[in-house]
Structure 1
Amino acid sequence: MKKKLLSGALAAAMCLTIPTTVVVAPATAQVIESNQNQLESGSFTWGFRRSLVRYMEGFIAKGKVELSGPVKREGANFIFPLDAANSHLDAAGNGQLKLLGGLHFLGHYNKSAQRWDMDVTIDNFVLDVEGKKVTVRADYVTKGDLSKAPSSQDGDQISGKNVAFATFELDSAIKPGTNVRFINQDTAATAPGFSEAFLNDRYATGTPVDGPNLKLVSDPTKPFTEYGKESSVDSENRTGVIIGSIVGVLAAIGGLLGALKHFGPQFGIRLPF
């Protein structure tokens, strides 16, 4: 009788153990996958549009660009820390990267009205990542001289939520679980929110802006994979620099041909034209 009771108890224990093992295995797999896609830290370094910043801080607008939150400035660049806890990437490297801090553009102080005629606050920056394509989104509030504004909610300001400000193309899709630096991604150009916030068609969609740097850390103990390289040329001026270089090269070639045509015969060199 004791043997039968012992056998029954053992069988019952085995029945209870088997389902428990089946449940635990998938949960462990989910934790591993989550850790692989988790971001430890990072930053987004962007000069925004350098000519706009120079204008705001120059002798015409006589204004400034204020920083909010943990944003830092190094020279012409603004550095936004990554909000790692609220950022996520899936197994294909797609997702959202949330940034901390914002910018406040102030220019053209109006003494009679006791206000800045150009007053634009931009914050809640988010990078939407789809493969190699990145869209920079943010909230904005524009105050001041709204004579060029298409509409106004309360008569003294316009605003937008989660509006696309810029887009750029990464050199490679992000591989989750790795440490990467994307340096000077100079495909960056304005999206509709840029001209909306600054009330200026000069910043219409597709206008070049500064090439940003994106740094993502998943495991501080691992090395970085780097894409791109540092450049001293503003993205918005890159086309002009390239054209200028081509013109310079053509001028040099023209000068060389002219010299050969003039002095060549003395050395037995004759050009066919």
Structure 2
Amino acid sequence: MTPASTPDAPATGEPSDGGVTDEELAAWEAQGSPDGSSRTRVVIAAMAVVAIMVAAAIGFSVGRLSTLADPTPTTTSAEAGFSRDMQVHHNQGVELAMIIRDRTDAVDVRTLAYDIATTQAQQSGQLYDWLVQWNLPQGSRQPDMTWMTLPTLTGASGHAHGGDTATPGSTHTPGEPMPGLATPAQIDQLTAASGLQAERVFLTLMIAHHQGAVEMAEALQPRTTNATALAFTRAVIASQQAEIELMTRMLDDRGGPVDLVD
């Protein structure tokens, strides 16, 4: 990840890591979610409301991070590493959602994509602001995912799944791809598809992408006491697990997952 010398926010209109500009996302948001109605849309709309409420609660707590209970994280801390890497992860989620928007007319898929794009863009902004609040650079000279190999607060080594003891065989190697991150070839596969095939590729990719985000959130939990970070991880796990279940049903209705290129 390229080191950043200052925590200044990128200028409006510059593309994120996923190549999506602020104007593109704002234009889609201004249009509102796609027209049409279905049971799936109602479910997703309700989830979006919950996500917004959770995001508001998290945002309210920003600025209360440097307390006796929550010391300011250092640049090599798990909290800082998570903030940087989850921004990259979320930005790709926005990119995938923007791609499928233009390749399907299915209301349920477009509504899901709208929810993912707006929610993950907002959460990425929160993570950016954490680093600003902590006066830490947005980039690091350490390889991606180094924070995931740090010992837990109880001294366990390796990557623990939602607890404070490491799971055998689950240790992440610094510099390896982030869990669930789509490869450039897989993004090209989605870009080249259309209609039903694009929907299946998108859902296959996004299920894995959400599973990776849950894995990262679970890995931070035993490595921090920061109340805001813990609240954020719980919100990510709850919302993305719910969407994984939803997307699995949507994918089953469309014939199941596709074989992805490497």
- Tell me which interval the TM-score lies in, with the shorter structure as reference length: under 0.3
The alignment's TM-score, normalised by the length of structure 2, stands at: 0.23
Greater C-alpha radius of gyration: 1
Higher helix share: 2
Tell which has more relative contact order, 1 or 2 (C-alpha 8 A, sep 6+).
Answer: 2
TM-score normalized by structure 1? 0.23
